[in-house]
A and B are shown apart, each in its own frame.
Chain A
Amino acid sequence: PEDPYCPYPTSLLHIEELCDSIVRSHRDTSQFRLEELQALRWKLFSREELHAYQSKSVDEMWQHCAVRLTEAVQYVVEFAKRIPGFRGLGQNDQITLLKTGSMEVVLVRMSRCFNTENSTVFFDGKFGSTELFKSLGCGDLMVAVFDFAHSVCALRLTEQQMALFSSLVLINPDRPCLEDRGRVHRMRRDLEVCLSHMLRRDNQESLQHKLYQKVSVLQSLCSLHVEKLHWFSQRYPLIVHSVFPPLYKELFT
């Protein structure tokens, strides 16, 4: 039935068009193509290359990772802009949704770059284990991030399912300080209808509950990241201020 308050009808045709549009947006804003990642999955860092990373100072490695993370976030910003209805939101609400949602989507997308057979992630052009990030001094965070990637990979999401899940992670009406919560909620409801429609089509309705369970893990990973950043910026305030990417500082400090 037509919902008078919903900016657009929730007919099946509309839902399928919305699904296709989100899948296209995901594909068009993916930092790495799946085929590329598959082809490179056995390209591991050599012992010497690993040693080079582990010999970096903590501030060098933090800066390096902040740059890489910021690159990934920018792809997520482009993804958000292409989600139907997102640009119709107020500018403050667009910022609010991305302020926390961008890192969460980066973490979801990271599972595409993860090889569960040897627990390695694609970074700087090759695959490396948590050992690669030793000099960050954030062992617990990296283990938690790798564990999360494992758990998402275990769901064996298709690219289409990942696209929908990413949009749901981003369009979160529970974020604090939203000015038009109702509008975000309506957008979210259509995305939920899209996801259940897609999972029903794929005969994988049990996935919906498992996906929603991931959201709380995502939030704890993001808080742990901010906690680590706080720890680091107390030790190296000048580094964060002077050489960290400005977008990273805007989002996370």
Chain B
Amino acid sequence: LKEKHKILHRLLQNSTS
């Protein structure tokens, strides 16, 4: 799932500051 949703995965990884 992460493979197919690289961008969403990256957005989720970014900090929420």
Contacts and interface: CB of A to CB of B under 8 A. Distances in A.
Interface in B1-17: 1-2, 4-9, 11-12, 16
Interface stretch (A10-18, A46-54, A73-81): A73-81
Contacts of A82: 16
Contacts of B7: 246-247, 250
A167 to B, nearest CB: 15
A95 interface: yes
A81 B8 contact: no
Contacts of B4: 250
Interface string A30-50: 000000000000000000000
B8 A77 contact: yes
Interface string A65-95: 0000000001001100110000100011011
B16 A78 contact: yes
A250 B16 contact: no
A250 B11 contact: no
B16 A81 contact: yes
A99 interface: yes
A96 interface: yes
A92 B4 CA distance: 11
A251 interface: yes
Contacts of A87: 12
A175 B16 CA distance: 25
Interface centre among B2, B4, B5, B6, by most chain A C-beta atoms within 10 angstroms, is B5
B11 A99 contact: no
A94 B11 CA distance: 11
A177 B1 CA distance: 10
A136 interface: no
A91 B1 CA distance: 9
Contact of B12 (A77, A246, A250, A251): A77
B12 A99 contact: no
Contacts of B9: 91, 95
Contacts of A251: 5, 8
A222 interface: no
Given A81-B12, A250-B5, A250-B7, 20 more contacts: A77-B8, A77-B11, A81-B16, A82-B16, A91-B2, A91-B12, A95-B1, A95-B5, A96-B1, A98-B8, A98-B12, A99-B5, A99-B8, A177-B1, A246-B7, A247-B7, A247-B11, A250-B4, A250-B8, A251-B5
Interface pairs A-B: 7 shortest CB-CB: A92-B1, A247-B7, A95-B5, A81-B16, A250-B5, A77-B11, A95-B1
